[in-house]
Amino acid sequence: MGQILELDKPIDWHTHLRWDERTKIVLPHSARVFSAVEVMPNAKDPDTGKMVVDSKTVAKYKKYLQSVLAETMGSDYEFEFIMSLYLTDKTDIQDLKSGYRDGLFKAVKMYPLGATTGSDAGISEVKNVAHVLEVMSELGIPLLIHPEMSPSKEMNILESESIFVNSTLSWIRKNFSNLKIVVEHVTTKESLKFVLENSNTWGTITPQHLLFNHNAIFEGGLQPDMYCLPLLKQIEHQKYLNDNLFKAIVLDKLALGTDTAPHMSKDKYKPCGCAGVFSAPVALEAYYQAFKNNLGNDNELIKVAMQRFAHILLPVYGINLEDLPKRDISLLKSSWQVPKEYEGITPMFAGQTLEVKALNE
């Protein structure tokens, strides 16, 4: 097996690990190839039914994740969970300040109400949380944003992100120019342009929004495994994202964030099926494919770009690379077939043969 390139401590800046029986199925896939992951807070505490909306719940969720890590990877396996707090209309300022000071979380996530899976506790009107944004701006806490409007029958769902960028996001930028903003999973020209043109703004991008456009949802019949939010977009957006991928990385603006979002396949293949692509088992392989599509066969250049892509948000979050667990990941030339499922969860590229494999050595 020939080595294509090696990555030092890659980090996934957007991961869903859940808080139920799915966690032990999905967590090892992230822990195997990443040094750390940014954990999204739209997970439901099984005892209280609450999302990760206060610092006590953040601490409890992290403890749960650490216990599943020990159970699945062994008690001495090192892996870092970078926690975030779920922003709601009721976020308590004192709790925000003390939780951040105590290092319980490193960022705050904003979901517009109803915009995606687990956003029922999201914010109904951005002005309601202006006082929270003010404090975050003062303390330097990054705001992670799901950049879509709450659903409405009058709005074209394919325009949900661009409308959000031109309304809510622009309002936040105008009123809080020092606030650090990470626009999560950019899928459109408008959101990537916003990130490139503004200061104190960064983005993450998923492998599926680079590799596919919305045709993939309908190819040969309805494909629930390609249904995620934000939706895969039109070809021109996919092209813009790819054309600007390298530039955005060179400018330190765009980071690796898989948005791996596992749902049991039975919950995706039913009426009103869930949104989310489970990409963790093939994440680095998929990104490599996207980089190769854009940069050709220059593996030295791809290595530099992917390495930078995986570390861009470290200074934004105030994390030192040296403090993260060691993880050397090799991408090797090796043919393998992606399993059709992992205990009832269908991964991206299920059943397909890939020519590259990411190995932890």
DSSP states of 232-254 as a string? Answer: P--HHHHHHHHHTHHHHHHTT-E
Site for Zn ion in 225-264 (CB under 5 A): 259
Question: Residue 263 Cβ, how far from ligand NCD at the closest point, in Å?
Answer: 6
Q: Applying CB under 6 A, which of residues 23, 30, 42, 258 lies at the interface with ligand NCD? A: 42
Q: Is 20 a catalytic residue?
A: no
Which segment (28-36, 114-122, 151-159, 317-325) binds ligand NCD by CB under 6 A? 114-122
Q: Is 190 in the site for Zn ion (CB under 5 A)?
A: no
Between 132 and 274, name the residue whose CB sits nearer to ligand NCD. Answer: 274
Between 7 and 121, name the residue whose CB sits nearer to ligand NCD. Answer: 121
Q: Which of 259, 267, 298, 328 is catalytic?
A: 259
Token pair in block for residue 105 = 């979380």
Query: Do 126 and 136 contact (CB within 8 A), yes or no?
Result: no
Q: Is 91 in the site for ligand NCD (CB under 6 A)?
A: no
Site for ligand NCD in 138-167 (CB under 6 A): 146
Q: Applying CB under 6 A, which of residues 25, 36, 261, 310 lies at the interface with ligand NCD? A: 261
- Count Cβ atoms below 10 Å from residue 239 Cβ, excluding itself: 12
Question: Residue 237 Cβ, how far from ligand NCD at the closest point, in Å?
Answer: 16
Between 118 and 302, name the residue whose CB sits nearer to ligand NCD. Answer: 118
Q: Which of 278, 192, 196 is nearest to 239 (CA)?
A: 192
Which segment (113-121, 281-289, 305-313, 343-351) binds ligand NCD by CB under 6 A? 113-121
Between 40 and 302, name the residue whose CB sits nearer to Zn ion. Answer: 40
Query: Do 195 and 169 contact (CB within 8 A), yes or no?
Result: no
**Which of Zn ion, ligand NCD, none binds 276 (CB below 5-8 Å, type-dependent)?**
ligand NCD
- Name residue, tokens 């944004």: 133
Question: Residue 134 Cβ, how far from Zn ion at the closest point, in Å?
Answer: 26
Q: Applying CB under 6 A, which of residues 12, 190, 225, 259 lies at the interface with ligand NCD? A: 259
Q: Is 229 in the site for ligand NCD (CB under 6 A)?
A: yes
Query: Do 312 and 14 contact (CB within 8 A), yes or no?
Result: no
**Which of Zn ion, ligand NCD, none binds 160 (CB below 5-8 Å, type-dependent)?**
none
SS3 201: strand
Between 231 and 331, name the residue whose CB sits nearer to Zn ion. Answer: 231
Q: Which amino acid is at 57?
A: T
Between 104 and 228, name the residue whose CB sits nearer to ligand NCD. Answer: 228
Token pair in block for residue 298 = 């220059």
**Which of Zn ion, ligand NCD, none binds 255 (CB below 5-8 Å, type-dependent)?**
none
Query: Which ranges of the chain would DSSP assign to H, the alpha helix?
Result: 23-33, 55-73, 93-101, 130-139, 160-164, 170-175, 189-197, 207-211, 235-243, 245-250, 265-268, 283-295, 299-311, 314-317
In sequence order, what are the residues at sequence separation of 6 or more whose Cβ sits closer than 8 angstroms to the Cβ of residue 281? 29, 338, 339, 342, 347, 348
Q: Which of 130, 142, 288, 149 is nearest to 207 (CA)?
A: 288
DSSP state of 48: T
Q: Is 182 in the site for ligand NCD (CB under 6 A)?
A: no
What residues are annotated to the active site? Answer: 259
- Per CB under 6 A, residues contacting ligand NCD are 16, 42, 116-118, 146, 228-229, 259, 261, 275-276
